[in-house]
A and B are shown apart, each in its own frame.
Chain A
C-alpha cells in the first residue's frame, strides 16, 4: 500500500513537472501557418484600414510607440524605450524611442517619423478614419483646417525624443497612441508607393509583406531584424481570403487551414462545441463590445423615460441569447465586463413584463402604442428583431419591423427623428481602445447626437458630458481609481435614463488546427484580435 502510494506520488510529481515544463517550454521557432477570411483585405495602410480583419495584419507589419500586455489593458512600451514622461498639468508627453530600430527598408526609425506618421493621419488627404482621435494635439485642428503646415504640438527634440502637447489633459491619450493609426511609417516609403502604400506597406513590425495576390492571398515573412529578440516565432503567415466560413471550416478539418479568421460558422457551431475532439481546439472569449437596442429620445413616446424603462424590462434577453446559440454574455449595462470602469454591482433592468406594463400605464400608455424597429437584414438579426417584436407585443407595443441593408440602417439611425428603435446586431459598439471614455463620447455624448453621428438615441445630457470631460482630465496615476469610479457612476446614471437596452456582449469563438500553438489571449486578443508574433507551431 505504502509502495503504491509512493509510486503514485512519484507519478503525480512527474506528471505535474511534465505539465509545468511543457507549459513553460519556449515556443518553437520556425514553421508557417495559414489563416482564412471570407472578405478581401482592403488595405494594410495603418492610417486607413480599420476593421477586425486588417487590424491584426497591420500589427504584423508595423509598431506603435506603445502596446498592450497580450489579452489585457495594461500599456507597455513598444517602439518607445520606456513609458513617456508626463508633465504635471497632464498636457505634455515626452517619448524616448528605442535606438537602432530599423524599418523593413533598412533605414533607422527616428522621432521625425513619429511626427510624420501622426501628421499623416491628421492630413485630410489621407482620408484617415482615425483623424479625430488626434485632433486633441495642440495645433492639430489648425493643421486639419489647412491653416498650418505642421502640427505645433508635436516637437522633435532629438532623433530619439519627441514631445507631444495636448490642448487639454486626456487620460485616454496613451491608449490613443497605442492604436494602429499611431503606427510609425517611413515617409520615403509612403512617397514611393503613393496611394498604393496600403498594398506595399513598410514598417518596423515583426513580419514583412512578401506578396499580395488580390482576392487570393497575402504572404507575410518573418522580419529577421526585428528589435524584440526571439519574436516572431513563425517564419511565415499566409492569409487566404475569399473562403466561405463553411468551406474554411472544412479546410481546417482537412489540415489546409490553421486558424479560422472569421470564427466558427453558425451552421457548424453546435457540432463543434459538442464534439470533445473538436472542442479541444476551440477558444472563446467575451469581446469588449455591446450589442444593444437604441430608443430614440427625440421620438414620442420614447421621450418619456418611463416608456424607455418599460421597454428595457419587457425584453427577454435570455431568449435572444438562445437565438445566437449562446454566443454572448447577457448585458446589464453599456460597458462590457472587460472594459475598465465596468461595475459588477450594476444589476440593470430585470426582465419583468408585469412591471413594464405598470410603467407604461403610469406614462399614460396603458393601451400601448405603435413604433418602428430598424434592423440589418442579415441573419440572425431579423430573427432577433422578431423576438423583440413579440416581447413588446406582450406589453401592448406594436412594432413594425424595417429590415434593411446595413448602410441604410446606419443612415436612418444617424438621422434625427427617423428611427424610433434600432437593433444594433452586426453594428455592435466595439472598443477602439480600453478606456470607458470610448463608450461615452462617440455614442452617448451631446457632440455625437447630430446628423450622421453614432448617438442613435440622440441623447444629450450636458451634466454627464461635463462629468465625463472632468474625468478625462484626471491624468495622474493616483487618480485612476477615482476616474474609473466616476465613469462607472456616469454609466449608472445613463442606465437610469434607459436610452439603450444593452442586450449582450458577444462571445467570440475561434478554432485552430492541432499544430498551431497559441493562448486564448493570442488568438482572441480584445484589442489586436490576433497576436501573430506570439503564435508558433508544434
Chain B
C-alpha cells in the first residue's frame, strides 16, 4: 500500500506540472491583453506598456513559464495582478469556505441520495421508484444558478427559514450546500439503486434470506455493504465536479470561496490567480482520488492495488 501511495503521489506531481503548463498555455493563447485589463480603459498605450513590462508579460512564453515554475518550486504562487496580494495568501483565505461548502454538499447528497436510492431499489417498478428516478433526473439537469436563486426565493425570502446569502454558520451553509449537492444526490440515488438491485439478486443474499434473516437485516448487513463500494469512488470524483460547481454556487450565495476568487480572476485575466487556483484544485482532486482509492482498499478486502 505504501508503494502504491508513493507512486500515486509522484503521478500527482506530473499531473500538477501538466495542469500548470496547460493553463499557462491556454491563457497565453487567449486573444486578451492582461496588462490592458489591469490598466483599464483610461490608461494610455504607454501606461499599458509600462504595466506589461512590470508584470513581465513582455517576455516570451517559455521565459514566463520557466520563471513561474522556478517560483512555484519555492512555494511562491506569485501576486495577483489586480489585487497585488500574494496568491498563496488569497487561496489560503478562501480554501476553508470552499472546503466547508463541499463537505456540506457531500453530506447532503449522501443524506438524500442513499436512502432514496435504497427506497427505489426496494420498491422497484412501483411509484417510489419512479418518484426517486424523477427526482434524480431533475436534480442532475436543473441549472445550479436557477436552482440556487429558486431556493433563496422560496426558502430564504418566502419562508424566512434561512439567511439570504453570505457566509456564516450552518444556517448560511445549508442552501448553498443543498444547491451544490442536489445534482449529486440524484446520481447517488441512481447508482445505489442499480448497485443494490445487482447485489440483491446475488446468491449470498438469497442464502441470507433463506436463513430466515429479516428483510432490513439482509439489506443493511449483507447487501448494502457490498453495494456501497462505488459510492466511495464517486465521493472522490465529486471533489473534481464540485470545483466547477462552486464557481456558480458561490457567486449566487455570496460564499467567499475559491470559486468566486477564480471567477473574478478569469474576468480580468489575472493569470497568477487563475493558474494558482487551477494547480491547487488539481492537487486537491488528485489527493481526494488517492484517498478514495485507499478507503476502498480498507472497506473492500477483495480490491488489491499494485
Contacts and interface: CB of A to CB of B under 8 A. Distances in A.
Interface of A: 38-40, 42-43, 45, 48, 50-51, 124-125, 127-133, 135, 144, 195-196, 198-199, 213-216, 240-244, 246-247, 250-251, 253-254, 256, 405-408, 410-412, 414, 427, 429, 432, 442, 447-448, 450-454
B220 to A, nearest CB: 42
Given A127-B51, A215-B257, A42 B41 contact: no
Given A40-B260, A250-B164, A411 B253 contact: no
Interface in B5-54: 30-33, 36-51, 53-54
Contact of A127 (B33, B54, B90, B93): B54
Majority SS of interface residues in chain B?
Answer: helix
Nearest to A406: B267
B164 A256 contact: yes
Contact of B31 (A50, A250, A411): A411
Given A127-B51, A198-B84, A244 B149 contact: yes
Contacts of A442: 41-42, 44
B96 to A, nearest CB: 11
B85 interface: yes
Contact of B252 (A125, A244, A432, A452): A244
Contacts of A408: 30-32
B41 A254 contact: no
B42 A241 contact: no
Contacts of B252: 244, 247
6 contacts: A132-B44, A250-B157, A254-B157, A407-B32, A447-B44, A454-B41
Contact of B33 (A128, A130, A411, A427): A411
B40 A51 contact: yes
B267 A432 contact: no
A38 B46 CA distance: 32
Contacts of B30: 407-408
B53 to A, nearest CB: 7
Contact size range, B: 35 or more
Contacts of A43: 82-84
Nearest to A246: B149
Contacts of A240: 166, 254
Contact of A448 (B40, B45, B156, B257): B45
Interface in B146-180: 149, 152-153, 156-157, 164-167
A215 B97 contact: yes
Contacts of B82: 42-43
Contact of B269 (A125, A246, A407, A448): A407
Contacts, number: 158
Given A40-B264, A244-B252, A405 B33 contact: no
B190 interface: no
Contact of A452 (B36, B83, B84, B97): B36
Contacts of A253: 157
A190 to B, nearest CB: 12
Interface in B36-86: 36-51, 53-55, 79, 82-85
A478 B76 CA distance: 58
B59 to A, nearest CB: 16
A130 B43 contact: yes
B264 to A, nearest CB: 6
Contacts of A447: 44
9 closest Cβ contacts across the A-B interface?
A215-B256, A242-B254, A407-B32, A132-B44, A129-B43, A129-B39, A131-B47, A132-B47, A214-B93
Contact of A432 (B42, B93, B166, B261): B42
B144 interface: no
B195 interface: no
A128 B51 CA distance: 8
B171 to A, nearest CB: 14
Contacts of A256: 164
Interface in B109-163: 149, 152-153, 156-157
A214 B94 contact: yes
B258 to A, nearest CB: 10
Given A127-B38, A242-B255, A256-B164, 17 more contacts: A43-B84, A127-B84, A131-B44, A131-B46, A131-B47, A214-B256, A215-B93, A215-B94, A215-B260, A242-B251, A247-B152, A250-B156, A407-B30, A408-B32, A411-B31, A414-B36, A452-B33
Contacts of B257: 215
